[in-house]
Amino acid sequence: MKMKKIFLFIFFILAIASAAFATPAAEPINFQISATVPAATGAKIEAFAIATGSSSMSSGLSSKTSVVNIDWSSAVDSLYFGNLLFDSDNKIWIAPKYFAINVSPVGGAGSVNVTIRYTEGSMPPSQKKGLGYKGMVNFIKVVNNKEQAIDGHGWKIFKEISAGEQISKTLLTGGYLRLYVGLLSGQEKDLMSRGGEPFYSTDKPGTYMGTLTISTTTN
């Protein structure tokens, strides 16, 4: 009987002790989770020369929507076509190369607005038409290394973008802009119907100059 009382007494003490050290249920705590992807702060603009290798490649430039085997590691700082080559079959002068220009966002995700403007430069004395009529440019969207046409922005002669060709960043969502820049070869019937023309033997010899200006904005 004495042992039973002692046991009950100890049990009673333990019960009181347990109640003394118990804490009330804690209020729920919310931990907010977030992650921020920074927006693009600017653009990287790089030009690359592409050797045509033959007049047939030059004449097919206006119909190309993709180019393979380009050395994207060797950028150039000018669009110098060099000495033109005479195509005796068609009696015109063609370029031994053309150019690709990549305008890709940097500093974050997203796209940038791009404006491309051509300004006519000098030409030989007595020459009536400069590079504004002889040069052409195409606007391509690149997504995962695949090229896509941009609605409303196809091939144009330089003169047609003298007021500025604007490509909004909404048109480039998920990718970036690539320009193809070349000289007409006489095969671009649509461009020639709008005033474009290749270099003929009747054109004045000498150096023809112009400036292609590419500017970007993020807003």
> Per-residue confidence at 133, pLDDT binned at 50, 70, 90?
very high
Q: How far is CA 120 from CA 123, 186, 200, 212, in A?
A: 9, 21, 19, 9
Q: What is the pLDDT of residues 12-36, one digit of tens each?
A: 454 555 555 556 788 999 999 999 9
Q: What is the mean pLDDT of residues 114-127?
A: 98
- pLDDT computed for residue 26 by the predictor: 87
Beta-strand pair 199-200/92-94: antiparallel
Are the beta carbons of 102 and 194 closer than 8 angstroms?
no
What is the reported pLDDT for 52? Answer: 78
Residue 80: per-residue pLDDT: 96
Name residue 133's amino acid: Y
DSSP character at residue 125: T
Per residue in 154-197, pLDDT (tens digit) is 999 999 999 999 999 999 999 999 999 999 999 999 999 999 99
Q: What percent of the chain has pLDDT over 70?
A: 81
Six-digit token string for 141: 């969207």
Residue-range domain boundaries for the chain = 42-217
In this prediction, residue 148 has a pLDDT band, given cuts at 50, 70 and 90, of very high
* pLDDT class of 10 with cuts at 50, 70, 90: very low
Average pLDDT over residues 126-153: 95
pLDDT band with cut points at 50, 70 and 90 for residue 66 = very low
Closest by CA position to 214, among listed 6, 43, 21: 43
- Residue-by-residue DSSP string for 155-180: -EEGGGGTT-EEE-GGGGTTSEEEEE
CA distances (Å), origin 204, targets 103, 117, 120, 131, 214 = 34, 25, 16, 12, 29
All residues at 6 or more sequence positions from 30 whose CB lies less than 8 Å from its CB, including other chains: none
DSSP 8-state secondary structure symbol assigned to residue 130: -
10 Å CB burial of residue 23 (0-12, 13-18, 19+) is: exposed
Cα 126 to chain centroid, rounded: 38
- Reported as a single tens digit per residue, the pLDDT across 41-50 is 999 999 999 8
Taking residue 48's Cβ as centre, other Cβ atoms within 10 Å add up to 18
- Which of 119, 116, 110 shows the shortest CA–CA distance to 140? 116
